[in-house]
């Protein structure tokens, strides 16, 4: 019985020592170091990812570049329609639509003093009205209808 009592006293003594060490912070430091290191690593990783996003944003064209392409394609669409070159007009209409969608993906909203403007909604309205009417005139090979849209 005395061996058990001695072992129990030793065990309780070591538990008391461990509790005191944790309360005073001696044993807590090794436990917190991996967590602190993981938090620092995560913070560094987040900072690196933010820097990478900014670098990639710098590579993308801005909306003015895309709209320059839209103007080029729309002008060629007009000239192709005036010359009644319907396959070329259809090609430039599709290019115009594609580049307008690209412009909205580059910058989906425009901030103004009156509030934010949803460019996707404007594009949808244009696509359902003017561009669809142009498509119908091209498909029908109707030079009069095509010309009337420019007035």
What confidence tens digit (pLDDT) does each residue in 28-50 have? 455 556 666 677 788 888 989 99
- Among 44, 59, 74, the domain-final residue is 59
Domains in the chain: how many in total? 2
Question: Cβ contacts of residue 128 below 8 Å, gap of 6+?
Answer: none
Q: Are residues 54 and 81 in the same domain?
A: no
Q: Which of 18, 34, 59 marks a domain boundary?
A: 59
Q: Are residues 19 and 92 in the same domain?
A: no
Do 109 and 138 have their domain in common?
Answer: yes
In terms of domains, do 33 and 96 share one? Answer: no
For residue 112 the two structure tokens come to 């103004």
pLDDT digits (tens, 9 = 90+) for 65-117: 889 999 999 999 999 999 999 999 999 999 999 999 999 988 888 888 999 99
The contacts of residue 57 (CB under 8 Å, 6+ apart) are none
Q: Are residues 78 and 136 in the same domain?
A: yes
- Per DSSP, the chain holds a count of helices (H) and strands (E) of 7, 2
DSSP 108: S
Residue 84 has which token pair?
A: 């009644």
Q: H-helix or E-strand containing 111?
A: strand 109-112
CA distance 100 to 112: 20
Domain that holds residue 81: 63-148
DSSP annotation of 150 reads T
pLDDT higher than threshold 70 for residue 8 = no
End-to-end Cα distance, the chain: 110
pLDDT of 1 strictly over 90: no
Question: Both tokens of residue 103?
Answer: 């412009």
């Amino acid at each position: 019985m005395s061996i058990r009592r001695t072992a129990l006293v030793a065990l309780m003594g070591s538990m008391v020592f461990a509790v005191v060490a944790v309360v005073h912070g001696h044993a807590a430091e090794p436990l917190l170091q991996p967590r602190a290191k993981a938090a620092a690593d995560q913070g560094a990783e987040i900072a690196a990812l933010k820097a990478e996003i900014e670098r990639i944003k710098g590579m993308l064209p801005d909306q003015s570049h895309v709209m320059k392409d839209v103007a080029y394609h729309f002008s060629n669409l007009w000239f192709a329609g005036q010359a009644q070159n319907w396959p070329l007009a259809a090609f430039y209409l599709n290019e115009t639509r594609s580049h307008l969608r690209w412009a909205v993906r580059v910058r989906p909203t425009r901030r103004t003093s009156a509030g934010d403007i949803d460019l996707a909604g404007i594009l949808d309205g244009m696509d359902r009205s003017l561009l669809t009417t142009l498509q119908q005139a091209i498909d029908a090979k109707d030079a009069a209808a095509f010309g009337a849209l420019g007035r």
